[in-house]
A = this chain, B = another copy of it.
Amino acid sequence: MSDHPNPATPATIAELLTRTSVRMFTPAPVPDGVKASILDCAFAAPTAGAQQLYTIIDVADPAIKATLAQTCDHQPFIASAPWVLLFLADCRRWLDMYELAGAPARQPGTGDLLLAVVDATIAAQNAVVAAHAYGLGSCYIGDIVEQREQVVELLGLDPYVFPAALLVLGYPTEQQLRRTKPARFPREAVVLTDRYRRLRPDELRSAIQARGEDFDRTIPAFCKRKYMSDFAAEMNRCVRDYLRPFLD
């Protein structure tokens, strides 16, 4: 590796490996300079055709945070997070530019939307990595897609934007710093060579057992609590509706 210009930087690798999600924060505000640097890292993320197919909403209004805490499956810590960032996949900004320039443009399709979702998420993850480097904790809130009608009204969302990732950030409480990172699957359950295939029953079982869990106890309980939950049904209902303008 010694003849390569960017040698291994174990600091970065260690940061990526040890980061855990943080949901409880001290009241300390995030300094403006730190916020600006983290946002710069988000902007610097790879982006399709340098388009930055996202808009970031910095949710500062405590009333809006409090409402999001409710619409996102009732998670009060969202209301008390010092910094709340919503990464929207934005298929509107470039469309508006095309129209302003008098360029003939079609309506956005699901391909445009998915490209923008990926773009927005890449930027969000750069923010997460940067935040961790500054000693900030963060957590993604997948429930942001729920209660679509209320969220669209609350945040003034355009039909051609989609809430890809909600992040809450702040300095972790002592208790949060002591949390154990949840176990991950062994590599062979996640990485395949050359072609996709469904895992065999023995592979599915050992993937869960390798995380220290009992397959026959964990899986039915998780299925009932998460996959068959009301909030999962609500996510599916709402995402379908978010997709509608892109399917026309």
A contact set with B: CB distance below 8 Å: 1, 4-9, 11-13, 15-19, 21, 31, 34, 36-37, 39-41, 43-50, 52, 54-61, 64, 88, 92-94, 96-98, 100-106, 109-115, 117-118, 121-122, 124-126, 128-130, 132-135, 138-140, 142, 145, 154-158, 161, 164-165, 171, 177, 181-185, 187, 189-199, 201, 204-205, 207-208, 215-216, 219-220, 222-224, 226-228, 232, 234-240, 243, 247
Contacts and interface: CB of A to CB of B under 8 A. Distances in A.
Majority DSSP secondary structure for residues of A touching B: helix
Nearest to A122: B125
Given A15-B12, A133-B12, A224-B103, A190 B55 contact: yes
A232 B111 contact: yes
A103 B208 CA distance: 15
Contact of A44 (B181, B204, B240): B181
